[in-house]
Amino acid sequence: MGEPDTILVVDDDVDIARFIEVNLRLEGYRVLLAHDGATALRLVEEHMPALAVVDWMMPQLDGIELTRRLRADPMTAPIPVILLTARGQTADKVIGLQAGADDYLVKPFDTLELVARVRSTLRRNQENREVSPLTGLPGNSRILREITDRARAGVDFAVSHVDIDRFKAVNDVYGFARGDEFITALARALHRAVVEVGLPPAFLGHIGGDDFLVVCSPDQLKPMASKAILEFQTASDALYDPVDAERGYVEVVQRNGEVQQANLVTLSIGVAIGQIANGQLTDPREVIAIATDMKSVAKKHNGNYVAVDRRSALHL
């Protein structure tokens, strides 16, 4: 058997926190305790728990704000959250779910319900998220499911394949550790962009390496791309050595000793527009393939570029 899942319990009521801890440990889980939001954020950063059980009503940083902060960071966004609340009204539950909670428990609750919700939430998370170890973002299986679900829901959507231009030069000059920092910077930039476009929620996935995929509504495409490009440009400029950032290029030494200049990184974004027509569902792999083709088109242009395919043949 593998290591037990780690669950973070956050509640300023010491007795309730202890009650939850004891019952979860009896079920074989490893439990971390925090009695305030700030401690919870530190424990999340140090241990990356499999799930967080968070009380809504806490002083200073309450459960809603804590959940929002977890969702705002690409590294912690995939952590499922069960919100504990004494608020049983539907409107209150909606607030919790909109903040990013995966489930909720209304106080008082019994042990069986607590354990059942923890188990079901962990199971759903494991089934629905194939997570990138670098960015914490869902991977290919979850991406395919997201596109399929949107098509079946009967709404138009845009699928964007985002890629860093001249990323190889970064790895060649600075090494893979610095390259990972560029990838993480893009993940954060894209996450801020998809959060800012608001509702309906946009989806962000990590295909691998420096390739990401965003699914959003067509009218969210332009503000999402603009925000992502601006955020990434600022972050990536700061990751270069000062001398390289100042002159606007890096010097790459080839195997034969020749020195070549490579401009600083930019983004190429290829977009496929999914349209609902005739009740037919095209394989989501086809949608991604079209977005990838358009990314190749974008790469033929200088600087940051978004290439959109609007072929009417794409019926989902």
pLDDT tens-place string over residues 259-308 = 888 999 999 999 998 765 544 445 677 888 899 999 999 999 999 999 99
**Residue 303: its pLDDT value, please?**
94
**Residue 155: its pLDDT value, please?**
80
**Residue 137: its pLDDT value, please?**
87
Which residue is it, tokens 């991977």?
139
Which segments in the chain show pLDDT lower than 50?
A: 1, 278-281, 312-316
Residues 105/85, Cβ–Cβ less than 8 Å = yes
User: Are 35 and 67 part of one and the same domain?
Assistant: yes
User: Are 93 and 144 part of one and the same domain?
Assistant: no
* 316 falls within a domain: no
The alpha-helical segments, DSSP class H, found in 197-220 are none
Q: What is the DSSP string of 46-65?
A: HH--SEEEEES--SSS-HHH
Q: List b or e across 208-234, with b for residues whose CB sees 16 or more CB atoms inside 10 angstroms.
A: eebbbbbbbbbebbeebbebbbebbbe
Cis peptide bond N-terminal to 4, omega within 30: no
**Residue 278: its pLDDT value, please?**
44
User: Are 156 and 296 part of one and the same domain?
Assistant: yes
User: Are 155 and 283 part of one and the same domain?
Assistant: yes
Model confidence pTM above 0.75: no
Q: Which of 105, 128, 151 is the last residue of a domain?
A: 128
Distance CA 234, CA 247 (A): 16
Distance CA 281, CA 315 (A): 7
Q: What is the CATH number of the domain that holds 273?
A: 3.30.70.270
Q: List b or e across 120-143, with b for residues whose CB sees 16 or more CB atoms inside 10 angstroms.
A: ebbeebeeebbbbeebbbbbbebb
**Residue 128: its pLDDT value, please?**
56
**Residue 225: its pLDDT value, please?**
97
Average pLDDT over the chain reads 87
Handedness of CA 291, 295, 301, 305 (dihedral sign): positive
**Residue 289: its pLDDT value, please?**
86
Q: Which tens digits make up the pLDDT trace of 35-71?
A: 999 999 999 988 989 999 999 888 888 899 999 999 8
User: Are 15 and 88 part of one and the same domain?
Assistant: yes
Q: Which of 128, 163, 185 is the last residue of a domain?
A: 128
Distance CA 274, CA 159 (A): 7
Look at residues 162, 220, 229 and name the one whose alpha carbon lies nearest to residue 194.
220
Amino acid sitting at position 173: V
| Number of structural domains the chain divides into | 2
Look at residues 105, 92, 307 and name the one whose alpha carbon lies nearest to residue 221.
307
Distance CA 262, CA 154 (A): 44
User: Are 86 and 154 part of one and the same domain?
Assistant: no
Q: How many Cβ atoms from other residues are within 10 Å of residue 152's Cβ? A: 11
Distance CA 140, CA 280 (A): 23
**Residue 28: its pLDDT value, please?**
94
Q: Which residues pair with 215 in a beta bridge?
A: 159, 203
Which residue is it, tokens 């200088």?
302
**Residue 134: its pLDDT value, please?**
80
